[in-house]
Amino acid sequence: MAKRLRHKRWLITSRTISESQTEALSMCMWARPVILGWSICVWLCSASTLHAQALIVAHRGASRDAPENTLASFTLAWEQQADAIEGDFYLTRDRRIVCIHDATTERVSSVNLPVAQCTLDDLRQLDVGSWKAAGFAGAKIPTLPEVLDCVPKSKQVFIEIKCGPEIIPTLQTDLQASSLQPDQTAIISFNAEVIEAAKRAMPERPAYWLVKFDKDESTGRWLPTCDKVIHTASRIGADGVDLAGDVEAVDQAFVSRCGQAGLSVHVWTIDDVRRAEQFQRLGVDSITTNRPRELRKALSKPSPLPAPVPTLHPVAQPTNSSGATPR
C-alpha cells in the first residue's frame, strides 16, 4: 500500500514538473516574437532619430545660375531637384502681385522704377534677365499666379511678402484661384503684422515669421533671443519661424525649444554644404539656398544605420503529453 502511494505521488510530481516545463517553454516560445518585435522597434526608432531630410528651398529660384525671381530661375530649380521655391512679392499700383525682391527695378533692369507706383503693364516692359547673362535676355517680371502655375503637385512655394498687410486681400484671391493645395503655399515675411493678417485671413495656409539676428557686442548675445522669437511667433499666430542661418545664433537648444512650442524651424540662406549638413543634423524643417543642386546631392547621401537587429534562432516548439502544440 505504501509502495503504491509513493508511486502515485511520484507520478503526480513528475506530471507537475513536466507540465511546468512545458508551460515555461511555451512562455518562452510566445515571448520570442515579442522580444523580436521590441528589438525591431528599437532599431527603427534609432534609425529615425538620426535626422530627417530637410526640405531644400531654392532662394529666388536657382538664382546662382539664372536671374532671380524669374520663371526661368524657378523652372531651373525644379530641374535641380528643389523641394520648394522661394520668391519675393510686391503689390503694384493696379493691385497686381509681382515677383521682385527690391522696392525698385534698378538692380535687375536698366531702368529705375518704384514697383509700388507702377502698373503691371509698366513693369512688363522691362528686361530683367540680361543683367545675369545674355541667354536670359527678355525675361519678364512674373506675376504671383504665373509663379503658382509653375509649381508641380508634389512641390511647394514660399511666398515672401516684401510690402505690408495691404497685399493680403489680393494674395488671398490669387491663392484661392490657384490649383495648389494650402499646404503647398507658405507665406513668409519679416513683418509680423503681415503674418498676423495672413493667418487671420487664411488660417488654413502655413505662415512663417522671418527672423534676422544681430549680435550685441557688449553682452555677446544674439538678438532677438529664443524667448523673444517664440513669444512673437506665438503672439501673431505663426506656424513656424524662418531664421537667418547663423550657426552661433541657432543651435540645438534653439531648434528644440521652438519645436516644443509647436513651431516648425526653417533657415536661410545656406550655400555652404557643411553648414547645411549641420543644420540638417539640428533637425530644421527646411534649408533655403541659392544652390539647390549641390545641397540636394550633399544632403541626400545615405546616413550610417544603427547596428543590425540581433538574429534570434528558432527553437523547437514544446508539445504536451498528447503530442499537440500548446495554444
User: Region 26-44: what's the mean pLDDT?
Assistant: 43
Burial class of 164 by CB neighbour count within 10 A (0 to 12, 13 to 18, 19+): middle
- String of b and e for 174-195 (b: at least 16 CB within 10 Å)? bbeebebeeebbbbbbebbebb
Identify which has the larger pLDDT, 50 or 231: 231
- pLDDT at residue 261 in the model: 98
- pLDDT at residue 245 in the model: 97
- Per-residue pLDDT band for 302 (boundaries 50, 70, 90) equals low
Distance CA 202, CA 183 (A): 12
* Prediction pTM value: 0.79
- pLDDT at residue 41 in the model: 44
User: Region 245-258: what's the mean pLDDT?
Assistant: 97
Cell numbers at 303, concatenated: 546616413
- pLDDT at residue 301 in the model: 74
Q: In the chain, what are the domains? A: 55-299 (3.20.20.190)
Identify which has the larger pLDDT, 183 or 42: 183
- pLDDT at residue 23 in the model: 52
* Nearest Cα residue to 87 out of 174, 199, 14, 6: 174
Write out pLDDT tens, residues 145-173. 999 999 999 999 999 999 999 999 999 99
Write out pLDDT tens, residues 257-274. 999 999 999 999 999 999
- Per-residue pLDDT band for 30 (boundaries 50, 70, 90) equals very low
Burial class of 57 by CB neighbour count within 10 A (0 to 12, 13 to 18, 19+): buried
Q: Tell me, what DSSP letter sits at residue 166?
A: G
- Per-residue pLDDT band for 51 (boundaries 50, 70, 90) equals low
Contact in structure between 230 and 258 (CB atoms under 8 Å): yes
Q: Tell me, what DSSP letter sits at residue 318?
A: P
- pLDDT at residue 52 in the model: 81
* Nearest Cα residue to 244 out of 201, 209, 296: 209
Identify which has the larger pLDDT, 171 or 48: 171
How does DSSP assign 234-278, residue by residue?
HHTT-SEEEEE--TTTS-HHHHHHHHHTT-EEEEE----HHHHHH
For the chain, percent of residues with pLDDT exceeding 70: 76
- pLDDT at residue 192 in the model: 98
Half-sphere exposure of 16 (CA within 13 A, CB side): 6
- Per-residue pLDDT band for 61 (boundaries 50, 70, 90) equals very high
> Mean pLDDT, the chain, as a whole number?
85
Identify which has the larger pLDDT, 34 or 164: 164
- pLDDT at residue 13 in the model: 47
User: Region 282-294: what's the mean pLDDT?
Assistant: 98
**Does position 208 have pLDDT exceeding 90, yes or no?**
yes
- pLDDT at residue 311 in the model: 40
**Does position 87 have pLDDT exceeding 60, yes or no?**
yes
- pLDDT at residue 25 in the model: 40
**Does position 39 have pLDDT exceeding 50, yes or no?**
no
